[in-house]
Homo-oligomer: A and B are copies of this chain.
Amino acid sequence: MKRIVFALTGVALLAGAVATTAPLSGQPHGEAAPIYGITIPAGYRDWHLISVRQLTGAGGKLKQLRAQLGNDIAITAFREGKLPFPDGAIIAALHWNKVASDADNQVLASGFPGAGLESSFAGPAVNVQFMVKDSKKYAASGGWGYADFTNGKPGNEALHKTCFACHQPAKDRDYVFTHYAATP
C-alpha cells in the first residue's frame, strides 16, 4: 500500500489528523471508493499483522504510525513468498497520528535514567487503505484494486487515480511494497 499510502499522506498533510468514530467491525458504512468500487471489508481490524511502519515529514507536522494487516489469503501468500498474490488477497493499511505520553516518558526516565528514551504510540486514526487482488476485475491495474477511506468515507477519484502508477516501483513484488515482518 505504500504508494497509495503516500498519496493519502498528501491529503493528510492538508487535512491534518482525523479522529475516527468507526465501529470496531471496521465497516462504518458501505460507500464504495471510486474507480475500483471497493468498500471497507468487514472485520479488517482483526486481520493478521503483516508489518508496522512510520511516516514522518512536512517539517515535523506529519508523524504517523502505521500497521499493515492482511486477510488469510494475503498472509499465507506473504509467508510462502507466493507471487503474484492469489485472487482474494486483501492488504489493509491502518494509519494513526503518532502521539506521546508524558507519563509514559516519565516512567522511562525513572527506569532508565540518562538513556533519553522516548515512547510514542498510535493516537487518533487518520485513514485506512486497501489493496484487493482480483486478476480479472483489476487486470488493467496489475490485478489490484485500490481504496482509501478517511473516517469511513472514500477518497475522491483524483486520489484513487494515483494508486496504480504509484505502486509501479514494486512491480517485481506484485506491486506490494510491504514485507512480512520477522517473528521475534
Partner of A107, one of B2, B149, B181: B2
Among the stretches A5-13, A31-39, A135-143, the one at the interface with B is A5-13
Task: Report the nearest B residue to A28, measured CB to CB.
Answer: B183
Q: Mark A77-102, 1 if CB is under 8 A from B, else 0.
A: 00100000000000000111010000
A9 near B117 (CB under 8 angstroms)?
Answer: yes
- Total interface residues on A, CB under 8 Å, equals 69
138-157 of chain A: CB within 8 A of chain B: 149-151
Residues of chain A whose beta carbon lies under 8 Å from any beta carbon of chain B: 2-3, 6-7, 9-10, 13, 19-20, 22-26, 45-46, 48-49, 51-59, 62, 65-67, 69, 75, 79, 94-96, 98, 103-104, 107-108, 111-112, 115-122, 124-128, 149-151, 166, 169, 177-179, 181-184
Partner of A183, one of B9, B22, B52, B58: B22
Task: Report the nearest B residue to A19, measured CB to CB.
Answer: B182
With contact pairs A67-B67, A181-B96, A184-B20 given, residues A58 and B119 touching in the complex (Cβ less than 8 Å): no
Partner of A96, one of B6, B121, B182: B182
| Copies of this protein in the complex | 2
Task: Report the nearest B residue to A122, measured CB to CB.
Answer: B181
Contacts of A112 in B (CB 8 A): 6, 9-10, 13, 57
With contact pairs A111-B6, A112-B6 given, residues A183 and B20 touching in the complex (Cβ less than 8 Å): yes
CB distance from A69 to the nearest CB of B (A): 6
